[in-house]
Structure 1
């Protein structure tokens, strides 16, 4: 970024800050406040730029030097997707014997991959993690909540995951979640790992996604059920408790995937033995995001569980 661009960015920031200052402040108080905020902003900006520089170096090193152990895993056309699922999608209709809704929760499960292929993916993840250790690279974790796991897009899976979104998740979304505006035009794909000596659980949250695909890869484990607690818009994510019929527990099965809305509140209950790895694919729609921004936070959408409760109360 050139000096001119930096000056413009700083001026824009200062204009935004000063526009919200109380009119009755003295010049001395305004100047002191602006100086304090500006110093903090510059420090944050420099930290962000350093993080970006390190990330670019990390990705460049992987791109130049990492060689996959099993290259076929990175090609969607070589993934042995469940044939019944593919045939159903070709028919362009939902078969409840293939894609099963978990009670009436709005979350669905289906057989996705054979366990042998899931193990190959686990082996590839371990191979990449060891390669990073051997090459002195710090692993970037999936998000702020998971301390273990890897970001699949970082080491060659981006196109494969894009193909999964296009060929599997988007057709399912169009059939099941009709309020989601398509296309699903970006994603964040990663692995999460739970074990007795690592992360044991994950707290109640929503995903940064329109739709999420959660695939259990294995291995041997007990506990760690996926708990769902109601679909909520951003205004009611943390303000309304779940109704009894919104509380759903899912037992993970290796090779089985779960599809749910990003705004479907959920958490991973504590694992009690073994080790569990899941492939998570956050699928986003820029059109859907834009629509939510235009509507603002004051209007509760019809798909929000709080909206449904209000309708029931008025009946």
Structure 2
């Protein structure tokens, strides 16, 4: 890779501050000589910390804008860093040719650098095209907002954003686009604020709707589930997986993936006991959240949750959504 100047990425500076970094390092340790897959490379904060701890890193990302950061790390760690363009849902096949893997880290969600680039269309705080595509390909958020009928749009906002006022928001969007297409982030944010109002001190009224559209545009729940099962296939016994999520819908999926019994029906103690499947993960950590120091340093970390586990010898499961609590859009097949 050719060299391009990029800003230093560390725990304190740079376009994206990696959350729960110390906790991730601890969850994946020991790192000296280990080979780790950073499935959501971004600006490289986790990769750099892993490399500095002595690991070899195979980094994966589908966003073309991360290439300068990958090139910088490749220059700094030419013998221990490899970047592969692709989605983390395919991390097992993408990492297979790079040797045995000891650990995987997945940071699920939008990075600060994506939020801060108005032209990417992720943020309701900056005016830009209503895009939200991480890869730059496929349907954009504007496509969904301007083509879905009111009921499917409301169902999407409710399922993926837990937006309780989704029907009213959808009605206002349809009314606005009947006059002219909705094409910018601030335009959509204003429509949502007009629909449901805004109370002082509350989160921006567009927060949940923008989350829902971003998840739909990028197929994030499908990507998450496929990435989790890809990690299960890839990691050998003793391999470690650390996953950082940013809202309750994602965290529920990860929690139930590590411990499927959490998502199953409660069995009566009066019935014959059914033998459960062998566990694919042990040493599963409780949810870890940022401490007060990290919250003061990086307010965007406030919603982050880390869960981690260690792979057992049990064979990997076939991919299945059963019991994971993956949100489904009402009326969709």
Q: Same fold (TM over 0.5)?
A: no
Shorter-chain TM-score category? under 0.3
> Which has the larger share of strand?
1
